[in-house]
Amino acid sequence: MSRIVTPFFLATLVPLIAGHGHISNIVINGVSYEGWDINVFPYETDPPAVIAWGTPNTSNGFITPDQYNSTDIICHLSATNAKGHAPVAAGDKVNLQWTAWPDTHHGPVITYLANCGDSCETVDKTTLEFFKISAVGLIDDTDVPGTWGDDQLIANNNSWLVEIPPTLKPGYYVLRNEIIALHGAEEIDGAQNYPQCINLQVTGSGTAEPSGVLGTELYSSTDAGIYVNIYSTLSTYEIPGPTLFSGAVSITQSSSSITASGTPVTGSGSASGSVSATQTTTLGVTSTTSTAITTSQTSATSTFTTFQTSTTSAPTTTATTAISGGSTQSIYGQCGGSDWTGATACNTQATCTSYNPYYYQCVPTAN
């Protein structure tokens, strides 16, 4: 029997055999943090601390609308809290690097934040209330099924850039970045949600505390933006989920080059991190700013320090802290790493300490 293959048939069949995706790493001001490696970590008894939430599921799969009321929609299938977090200043941008996203999977890219209270490493995910900070749906429907947020993500090296709202109150937040694939959404429960969560500590002086909604209440299977036929011309597309936070900042997509490898901050600290040192050094035509954030543990005698390195392409830089003596690096300055060409000796109050192969830093010597 011969079979007539119609364009519609192709359109609905092809995606079923295409691959799916997840976030492989997260780049914040040039520092790359490893994501949850679904090909390795589910098989390990003690996977490393990363800033991404974990899943035991190795299928690289998705959540369907009939599961919108299950806890799997919050941060993916049977997700467990990330064991660490990354510092980021309100107003900074976070680049979420996905694995190669199939161009058959059209749909919106949506990003949320939810305040964790004392710790995103221990928060109960069912209590997180998410507010939307970025949403890109249908961009252009001239050429049905159209150009969507996820097509922009593919064009952006399979990555998505989002700005942490500048007015946001400092604290611990889960960032939830999600692609919703609509290639099968003309049928009820045919949409596919790919949520990914990471833990952040947002610093700054903002005061905004946006209200949000529980993960299990974000969507319903009959939402206009969920149960939709993208193979017919759409005059409008309604991005699902709650309305955008008024302090959200819309930005142009661009990818972030990696200048250092980040180490997740672990341990539960108080939400009030204090900046203990800031230093700017000149490095060719780029400027590197290292900010040390010291967080005191509430019940321990030790303090620990985390570092955020930001790199911009500003042609000129101004030293905000004098660098002591020509070849000697001052406290909290970089003193080594694979591409480092500056001073490798620290001043007398500090010791050059390796954080990873890319970044060594002058850490105050214990008295």
Ligand X SMILES: *[C@@H]1O[C@H](CO)[C@@H](O)[C@H](O)[C@H]1NC(C)=O
Q: Which of 12, 71, 147, 157 binds ligand X (CB under 6 A)?
A: 157
Q: Give 345's strand partners.
A: 328
C-alpha span between 256 and 94 (Å, rounded): 9
Which residues are CB-neighbours of 123 under 8 A, at least 6 positions away?
A: 81, 116, 117, 172, 174
User: Does residue 357 interact with ligand X by CB under 6 A?
Assistant: no
Provide the mask over 24-63, with x wherever binding to ligand X is found by CB under 6 A and - wherever it is not: --------------------------------xx-x-x--
User: Does residue 91 interact with ligand X by CB under 6 A?
Assistant: no
Q: Between residues 193 and 334, which has the closer beta carbon with respect to ligand X?
A: 193
Q: Between residues 161 and 271, which has the closer beta carbon with respect to ligand X?
A: 161
Q: How far is the CB of 42 from ligand X (least distance, A)?
A: 7
Q: Between residues 70 and 233, which has the closer beta carbon with respect to ligand X?
A: 70
> What is the footprint of ligand X within residues 158-187 (CB under 6 A)?
158
241: left (phi over 0), alpha (psi -120 to 50) or beta: left
C-alpha span between 41 and 50 (Å, rounded): 10
Q: Between residues 35 and 165, which has the closer beta carbon with respect to ligand X?
A: 35
- Number of residues counted as binding ligand X (CB under 6 A): 13
User: Does residue 317 interact with ligand X by CB under 6 A?
Assistant: no
Q: How far is the CB of 89 from ligand X (least distance, A)?
A: 21
Of 169, 193, 171, the C-alpha closest to 182 is 193
Q: Between residues 21 and 146, which has the closer beta carbon with respect to ligand X?
A: 21
Q: Between residues 233 and 257, which has the closer beta carbon with respect to ligand X?
A: 257
Q: How far is the CB of 364 from ligand X (least distance, A)?
A: 34
Q: Which of 257, 278, 349, 365 binds ligand X (CB under 6 A)?
A: 257
Q: Between residues 69 and 229, which has the closer beta carbon with respect to ligand X?
A: 69
DSSP 33: E
Look at the alpha carbons of 365, 357, 258, 265 in this order and tell me if their dihedral is positive or negative: negative
Which ranges in 104-221 belong to alpha helices (H)? 149-155
Strand 274-283 vs strand 109-117: parallel, antiparallel, or unpaired?
A: unpaired
C-alpha span between 76 and 56 (Å, rounded): 10
8 Å CB contact between 79 and 174? no
User: Does residue 77 interact with ligand X by CB under 6 A?
Assistant: yes
The token pair at 177 is 């970045």
- Footprint of ligand X on this chain (CB under 6 A)? 56-57, 59, 61, 66, 69, 77, 97, 157-158, 221, 255, 257
